[in-house]
Amino acid sequence: MADSRLVQGRYRLLDLIGRGGMGEVWRARDESLGRQVAVKCLKPLGPHHDQTFTRVLRERFRREARTAAGLSHRGVTVVHDFGEHDGVLYLVMELLDGRNLSQLMEDNKHHPLPVGDVVDIAEQVSAALAYTHQRGIVHRDLKPANIMRLTDGTAKLCDFGIARLGQDTGLTSRLTGTGIAMGTPHYMSPEQIGGTEVDQRSDLYSLGCVLYEIATGAPPFDLDDAWAILVGHRDTRPAPPRSHRPELPGWFEKVVLDLLAKRPEQRPYDAGELGRRITSGRTAPTYVPTVVTAQPRLRPPEPAAHEPRLPSWTRSMTTGHKATGAALRSTPPDPGAGLTCEWTARPATAVVEPLPVVPAPSPQALAALAGRHHDGLSLGRLGCWGEAGEVHRAVAAERARLLGPDHPDTLASRYEIAFTLSRTGRAAEALREYTEVAAARERALGADHPDTLAARQETAYVLGQLGRHFDAHQVYTAVLAARQRLTGPDHPDTLRCRHNLAFNLSRLGRLEDSYRMAHDVAAARARVLGPQHPDTLVTRYEVAYALGQLGRWEEALQAYREVAEARARALGADHPDALAARYEVGISLGRLGRSADALTLYRALIDDRTRVQGPAHPETLRARHGLGVNLGRLGRWEEALAESRDVCAIRERVLGADHLDTLVSRREVAVGLGWLGRWPDALAEYRRVATARERVLGSDHPDTLASRNDEAHCLEQLGRGAEAVELYRRVAVLRQQRASGGRL
């Protein structure tokens, strides 16, 4: 990039002004407009990254860059342009005349900044965050190096739009398996460390760390060991800032300590509220305290003799650069951080040593496979399950060749193959894969190893997808017994298994048992994780579902509304989980005969889904399906039929003709045709649905049997009674066989 000097024939690179883990920043001249700009060139992906992942990442970069370019606030760095040049992604930003807070601390010989400057920076940054958070954008990597202080005193946030991109490129701290924690350890929120969902309050925690540092001269947990820093964020109350610097105002100390609350709900709700408190503190002696809901009493920290329960990815973390500029003590600088020379990827470490019975593969080959494995995980997190499956298949085949078919790394890839299959409606294939992985892990690791139990639990999940709920029940019960014996009743993995078992009980018709178990799990998760934790809300969602199945729709409606409101507060109104709960509110309204209210809700939900996820997203289509159902309930069958046909056509194009959601829409088309008296057309659609479900789910699956009953009903309406009776008999025999084989 630097050798060409001219990017896209327009931006001439002049001077290198910054370098970091994600790339370089150059002062450049925009030859078209004759102005000075900054060009941030992102570190290109190495050859170990999968091409499918790279393609998706480029599209993700374009989307994030467009988001950043749409921000317009004096406290946010302006993005003028973006693109790709010679394989390097770049952003063109306004050129800022000033120093970031990390540099200012270094200039000040690591002493704290003047109190007036600290308060002014806090007020300006809170205003910028309020603006970005209102647009649904969370920075996720707020630190002194990402806050610029211009020569005129303006504070500006940098790197919006590429903060989330760091998740997908692997250029920031990474979680294995289920999620990603971004950020530098000194400024990470407890929920980032735990790998759970983050919202705007995570940014507020990071801002609290920044303000603490520039006000006192050191971050709240100023330790050289990354593990100790993370444990500090999670378990330790920071020392009050005035214990380091008594001249700090009392109201400012309370603001910072509120920002550093361990639980998100104990912090200021949003940056707007924070800004109001700062303004109030500057102009009045009184302080407006944080209003928090009552929380269950937290368990005391475990004795020091016990190892802190932090995610496995934290074990190899280094502390990163503090704002004070202290050099890393654990690892040397990344030699591949620059664009001016060849890019050199830091070798990854193999997760597991090669088995002695096979020739040891090269570290480079293992590093490449580890990188591609993480590419597949990132694609899954982006919802690109088909592409993720392609990557995992290729990696699994190569790992089997190099390490052997039963090596833990090979089995980890095959586990991810099964996961992608289950998420793309290919439950039967997923079941085969999970079954083989579970058996292999049991041979290699033992029946009670966490990886073996994880594979068995996913086996139960796909058995449920296939309608084999009795078999799923048996597996869940066995796994639960092992988890309770090994890790105790309140361990998150145990609670997750109990949650899944509760869900499966409802599918077995044991509705009261399902409700009681879900209710107990929700209470346990609230006690262990907190009432607003995403996992707690998932189980409260399941409680609402069980209430609906019991016909207690008024209670279900109230429960769904509470979950929707809690998720909107904790995760944001546009978060997929918040939108999902709103959808279930619509279902409940429809069941209560309040279809007019349901139509209003669904129309608003469709607008929000379309804005956030796009018109062809499966969840947008699910909301449109609900709209069509309620149009029918109101007797507006022509409109209902038109909506169902449109949704069915889009689902067939996007998801495939045999996808279960497509078949649900096709059945709704048949329902509409029947209500309009077009029974021959309805029969053709019902048969098409039944045949597809039989092919995908099996002849005795409950959904297949329901479709055959629909077909028989059509035959009755057409006066073909003998055929209808024969079909009803066949369905009854299959139901009886299924019941006798799976009776509890």
Task: Domain ranges for the chain, please list them.
Answer: 6-94, 98-291, 365-376+384-487, 678-744
Q: How far apart are CA 398 and CA 34, in angstroms?
A: 51
Of 433-437, 516-520, 525-529, 719-723, the least confident = 525-529
Largest CA-CA distance found in the chain, in angstroms, rounded:
93
| Fold category of 6-94 in CATH | Phosphorylase Kinase; domain 1 (3.30.200)
> Which strands make up the sheet holding 35-42, listed edge to edge?
6-7, 11-20, 23-30, 35-42, 88-94, 79-85
Q: For 667-693, what is the mean pLDDT?
A: 94
> DSSP class of residue 331?
S
> How do residues 406-427 score in pLDDT, each as one tens digit?
999 999 999 999 999 988 888 8
| pTM to 2 decimal places | 0.50
Contact 549, 508 (CB under 8 A): no
Is a pLDDT exceeding 90 seen at residue 600?
yes
The single-letter code of the amino acid at 495 is L
E strand or H helix at 544:
helix 534-549
Give first-to-last CA distance, the chain, whole Å. 67
Outline where DSSP puts E strands in 309-376: none
Residues 505 and 168 sit within 8 Å (Cβ to Cβ):
no
Q: Which strand (E) or helix (H) includes residue 377? A: helix 363-381
Average pLDDT over residues 235-253: 90
Q: Detail the residues annotated as belonging to a binding site for ATP.
A: 40
Query: What are the residue numbers of the active site?
Result: 141
CATH class given for the domain over 365-376+384-487: mainly alpha
Tens digits of per-residue pLDDT, 270-320? 898 899 889 888 765 433 333 332 333 333 334 444 444 444 434 434 343
CATH architecture classification, 98-291 = Orthogonal Bundle (1.10)
Residues belonging to the binding site are 40
Confidence of residue 382 (pLDDT cuts 50, 70, 90): low
